[in-house]
């Protein structure tokens, strides 16, 4: 399967979606109400729903349908939104009222739900990571392009303009040759275990939870409460730190440097503090990726120590450091006379409201998406290279021709 450059993808997808956008505007009008269906009603979905409810009047949008396999969460979401209820996401996709869907399920369901939503002609906001595997990501890119719909990947940090602005300085040569990028995402959970969630005693598979539907494409097994309520801890449903945390950071670096696919990489880590945890994923995890001609991207995380590191792009002429308010550029000493310090104050933010608003503008007026499927694909490759390297204990490379990971 040939994979386009991001510029080619955006141009072709924009052309394809223009027909969809024009058809859509004839039905609704470019400023008329957008009707949203929510698939998955857990904690992250609730964050989205609260934001979307606040946007209802200002952005002329309304949640009209909600779907979940756990009856308690479904009822809570319906009460919150006043939306119609669905217990099977396919019936929600068949609802002609729904213009776009929010997919806020565990990672192992992202691909199939996205493919089905695109086939149903629905625009899509899919939580990160875009897919659970690299092969799935390729399928999503192709299907979205074919369907001509708009898809926003939920790396909401892309609604902060710092990274596209940083790319402009990089292209202008302000940093010189960028040789290394480093960034982290760490936490400290304390206690005896990490990334756990309370077990809801009301949850009863076969009574108010459709466990088999939740498993879906994942390996079949008997109900285990921790797998349902803390699914990020298990490889069947998640890439752990890589796909839940690093995807936010890696995508920022990819955008800021105009990167696509890494050339090779390796990951290390383990359960170094929470040694007796039932979790399959490590509590400490680091990925090092080498991109063609540079730079090296270093992703650092521990869930047992939250001391941060600087988020920087290191060039031979200057260093760009991302901050809470934007970024600064400071020349290296050998180039102090020819370079100058720069301070950028960001517009936008890491905000689901802005990310949804961008998708709405893309649907209504073909505005460029902040995190389109191709950028989502690059993020999946960066993170899953790390996961596969760690699980196989191998140094891996990217086969550019076949678009797959191979042993280095």
Strands 34-39 and 100-103: parallel
Residue 405 CA to residue 385 CA, distance in Å, equals: 7
* Average pLDDT over every residue of 391-406: 97
Q: Are residues 182 and 69 in the same domain?
A: no
305 and 289 fall within a common domain: yes
Indicate whether 229 belongs to any domain: no
Residue 77 domain boundaries:
6-157+353-372
Are 63 and 49 a contacting pair, CB within 8 Å? yes
Task: Identify whether 240 is part of a domain.
Answer: yes
Confirm whether 135 is domain-assigned: yes
Identify whether residues 56 and 168 lie together within a single domain. Answer: no
Tell me, what's the pLDDT at 32?
83
Same domain assignment for residues 88 and 131: yes
Mean pLDDT (whole number) for 89-106: 98
Q: Quick one: 170 and 56 in the same domain?
A: no
| Pair (61, 175) in one structural domain | no
How much is the pTM?
0.92
User: 242 and 250 in contact (C-beta within 8 Å)?
Assistant: no
Taking CB atoms within 8 Å and a gap of at least 24, the contacts of 41-45 are 41/66, 41/67, 41/68, 41/70, 41/73, 41/74, 41/76, 41/77, 41/104, 42/68, 42/73, 42/104, 44/104, 44/127, 45/77, 45/102, 45/104
* Exposure of 216 in the CB half-sphere (CA atoms within 13 A): 19
User: Please, what's the b/e burial string for 259-297 (b: 16 or more CB within 10 A of its CB; e: otherwise)?
Assistant: bbbbebbbbebebeebeebebebbbbbbbbbbbeeebbb
Mean pLDDT of the chain: 94
Q: Is residue 177 part of a domain?
A: yes
Residues 312 and 393 in one domain: yes
Report if residue 198 sits inside a domain: no
The pLDDT of residue 233: 98
Does residue 163 form part of some domain? Answer: yes
- Asked if 102 and 149 sit in the same domain, the reply is yes
Is there a single domain that holds both residue 134 and residue 16? yes
Averaged pLDDT for residues 61-66: 98
What whole-number percentage of the chain has pLDDT above 70?
92
Per-residue model confidence as pLDDT tens digits over 356-390? 999 999 999 999 999 999 999 999 999 999 999 99
Q: What is the CATH number of the domain that holds 334?
A: 3.30.360.10
Percentage of the residues of the chain whose pLDDT score is greater than 90: 91
Question: Does position 10 have pLDDT exceeding 60, yes or no?
Answer: no
Q: b vs e for 179-195, b when ≥16 Cβ sit within 10 Å of the residue's Cβ? A: eebbbbbbbebeeebbb
| One domain for residues 179 and 84 | no
Q: Do both 186 and 275 map to the same domain?
A: yes
In a domain, 275, yes or no: yes
**Strand 312-315's sheet: what is its strand order?**
342-345, 326-331, 318-323, 312-315, 178-184, 296-302, 284-290, 264-270, 396-399, 404-407
Total domains, the chain: 2
Mean pLDDT of the 235-254 span? 98
Residue 72 has pLDDT above 90, yes or no: yes
Q: How confident is the model at residue 5 (pLDDT cuts 50, 70, 90)?
A: low
- Domain containing residue 75: CATH number: 3.40.50.720
Least confident window among 29-38, 75-84, 220-229? 29-38
DSSP assignment of 97-159: T-SEEEE-S-GGGHHHHHHHHHHTT-EEEEESSS-SSHHHHHHHHHHHHHHT--EEEE-GGGG
Residue 184 is assigned to a structural domain of this protein: yes
Question: Do 127 and 31 share a structural domain?
Answer: yes
What pLDDT does 66 receive?
98
């Amino acid at each position: 399967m040939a994979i386009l450059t991001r510029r080619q993808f955006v141009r072709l997808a924009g052309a394809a979606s223009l027909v969809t956008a024009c058809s859509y505007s004839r039905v609704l009008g470019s400023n008329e109400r957008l009707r949203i269906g929510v698939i998955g009603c857990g904690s992250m979905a609730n964050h989205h729903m609260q934001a979307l409810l606040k946007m209802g009047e200002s952005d002329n949008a309304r949640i009209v349908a909600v779907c979940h396999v756990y009856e308690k969460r479904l009822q809570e979401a319906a009460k919150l939104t006043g939306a119609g209820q669905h217990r099977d996401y396919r019936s929600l996709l068949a609802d002609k009222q729904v213009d776009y869907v929010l997919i806020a399920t565990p990672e192992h369901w992202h691909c199939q739900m996205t493919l089905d939503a695109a086939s149903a002609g629905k625009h899509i906001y899919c939580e990160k990571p875009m897919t659970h595997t690299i092969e799935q990501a390729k399928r999503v890119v192709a299907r979205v392009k074919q369907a001509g719909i708009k898809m926003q990947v939920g790396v909401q940090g892309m609604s902060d303009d710092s990274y596209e602005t940083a790319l402009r300085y990089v292209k202008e040569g302000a940093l010189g040759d960028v040789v290394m990028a480093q960034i982290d995402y760490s936490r400290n959970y304390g206690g005896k275990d990490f990334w756990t969630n309370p077990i809801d005693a009301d949850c009863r598979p076969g009574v108010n939870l459709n466990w088999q539907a939740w498993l879906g494409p994942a390996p079949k097994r008997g109900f285990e409460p921790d797998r349902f309520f803390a699914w990020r801890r298990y490889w069947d449903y998640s890439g752990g730190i890589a796909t839940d945390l690093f995807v936010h950071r890696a995508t920022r670096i990819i955008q800021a440097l105009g990167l696509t696919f890494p050339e090779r990489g390796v990951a290390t880590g383990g359960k170094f503090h929470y040694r007796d945890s039932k979790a399959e994923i490590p509590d400490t995890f680091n990925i090092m990726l080498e991109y063609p001609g540079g730079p090296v991207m270093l992703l650092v995380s521990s869930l047992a120590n939250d001391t941060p590191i600087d988020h920087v792009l290191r060039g031979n002429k200057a260093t760009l450091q991302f901050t809470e308010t934007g970024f600064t550029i400071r020349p290296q000493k050998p180039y102090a006379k020819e370079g100058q310090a720069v301070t950028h104050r960001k517009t936008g933010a890491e905000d689901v409201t802005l990310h949804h608003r961008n998708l709405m503008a893309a649907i209504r007026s073909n505005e460029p998406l902040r995190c389109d499927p191709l950028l989502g694909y690059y993020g999946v490759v960066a993170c899953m290279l790390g996961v596969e390297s760690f699980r196989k204990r191998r140094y891996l490379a990217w086969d550019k021709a076949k678009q797959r990971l191979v042993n280095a």
